[in-house]
């Protein structure tokens, strides 16, 4: 399998940490929450948490604090199809392909639910064929991009499938929830809205760089499910984020990496470019330490986190796009995502 096109999209409105903190202090929610909650939110939004700003699907920040099931569902329905279609169109343009050339589409999300699913909206908005094979993947959280790509790889091995469109779209502002729990508050300060897409093909692109998917692997530990997950409360999604996440992410990322590299006689030093889900600043630091990386190895992940925040499943498309835009050196690249489950996935790419 080859990745022949990449595209990303975000809402147009960008909000800094200081703007978010001011909006929180001016909201009704500030008086509803206790002093500890004020301290947590203020600390996260004032310190260097690795994030400068986020793009959110709201016209003004006070909309974020209008939290009820109907409002959040409406926000997801309005923005998720739009973001997914924009990213997909940009990926197709990068690949130099027309919509009619796509034989299958796989769409992932965890921040909202539609039936019929998001795939139908993508088919309609970008003009895919009506006989396209369409799949919707839900409930995989921040890790979803790699399972999405793995399904694309499987589809490309089936008869009559030459090109697959992979899309991850998340409207995290449509999964907003606030209470006094520190993990809930930190989540509200970390996540942004956006979509990423990739065009997958059996053959390399005739123009541009060759990005070949050589091998992938996954690990899941359901016993750690409660460390990072959504739960339903009051008809809304409530994100559970625990202190164990950075260590879990680093542990599983290392195990998946070794599972792929060791049979091929490769090691961590063989990887020239790292395309990693960030999660947050603490997660990046844990990854750097556990994998014994050099300063700057995770620069693309850090840069995307600083500009966009945690985009959940869409994040790694932004990191891959950034590495390509920077003309990162050819050789072995490592692509990895992790999240709810607790799950972790990785893939070895050969890029020329």
Q: What is the pLDDT of residue 208?
A: 83
pLDDT at 100 over 90: yes
Q: Domains of the chain (ranges plus CATH)? A: 2-201 (3.40.47.10), 211-351 (3.40.47.10)
Quick one: tokens of 215? 């091998």
Mean pLDDT of 48-57: 95
- As a whole number, the mean pLDDT across the chain is 96
DSSP readout, 130-182?
Answer: TT-EEEEEES-GGGTHHHHHHHHHHHHTSTT--EEEEEEEE-GGGG----S-H
The whole-number pLDDT of residue 135 equals 98
Structure confidence at residue 205 (pLDDT): 85
Return the sign of the alpha-carbon dihedral for residues 8, 13, 19, 25.
negative
Checking if the pLDDT of 11 tops 90, the result is yes
pLDDT of residue 328: 97
DSSP lists the bridge partners of residue 223 as none
Percent of the chain with pLDDT over 70: 100
Provide CB contacts within 8 A for 331, sequence distance 6+. 272, 273, 350, 351
Interval 37-55 mean pLDDT: 94
Q: Write down the residue that tokens 């206790």 correspond to.
A: 34
Return the structure tokens found at 330: 């050819």
Backbone dihedral region of 276: left (phi > 0), alpha (psi from -120 to 50 degrees) or beta? beta
Length of the chain: 352
Q: 101 and 86 in contact (C-beta within 8 Å)?
A: no
Report pTM. Answer: 0.96
pLDDT above 90 covers what percent of the chain? 97
* pLDDT band, very low/low/confident/very high, at 206 (cuts 50, 70, 90): confident
* Region 286-297 average pLDDT: 95
């Amino acid at each position: 399998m080859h990745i022949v096109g990449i595209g990303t999209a975000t809402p147009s409105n960008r909000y800094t940490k200081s703007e978010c903190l001011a909006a929180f202090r001016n909201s009704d929610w500030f008086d509803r929450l206790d002093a500890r909650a004020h301290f947590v939110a203020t600390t996260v939004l004032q310190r260097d948490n690795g994030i400068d700003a986020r793009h959110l699907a709201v016209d003004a920040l006070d909309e974020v604090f209008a939290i009820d099931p109907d409002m959040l569902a409406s926000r997801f329905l309005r923005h998720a199809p739009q973001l997914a279609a924009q990213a997909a169109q940009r990926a197709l343009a990068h690949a130099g392909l027309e919509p009619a050339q796509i034989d299958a589409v796989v769409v992932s999300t965890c921040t909202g639910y539609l039936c019929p699913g998001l795939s139908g909206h993508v088919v309609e908005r970008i003009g895919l064929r009506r006989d396209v094979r369409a799949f919707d993947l839900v409930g995989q959280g921040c890790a979803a991009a790699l399972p999405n790509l793995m399904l694309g790889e499987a589809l490309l091995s089936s008869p009559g499938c030459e090109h697959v469109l992979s899309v991850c779209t998340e409207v995290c502002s449509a999964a907003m929830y606030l209470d006094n729990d520190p993990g809930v508050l930190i989540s509200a300060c970390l996540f942004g809205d956006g979509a990423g897409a990739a065009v997958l093909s059996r053959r390399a692109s005739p123009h541009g760089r060759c990005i070949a998917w050589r091998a992938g692997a996954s690990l899941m530990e359901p016993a750690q499910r409660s460390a990072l997950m959504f739960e339903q409360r009051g008809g809304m999604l409530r994100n559970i984020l625990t202190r164990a996440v950075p260590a879990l992410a680093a542990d599983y990322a290392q195990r998946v990496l070794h599972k792929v590299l060791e049979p091929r006689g490769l090691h961590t030093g063989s990887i020239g470019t790292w395309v990693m889900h960030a999660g947050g600043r603490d997660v990046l630091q844990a990854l750097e330490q556990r994998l014994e990386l050099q300063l700057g190895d995770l620069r693309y992940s850090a840069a995307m986190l600083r500009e966009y925040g945690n985009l959940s499943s869409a994040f790694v498309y932004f990191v891959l796009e950034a590495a390509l835009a920077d003309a990162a050196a050819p050789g072995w690249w490592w692509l990895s995502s992790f999240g709810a489950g607790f799950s972790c996935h990785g893939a070895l790419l050969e890029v020329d």
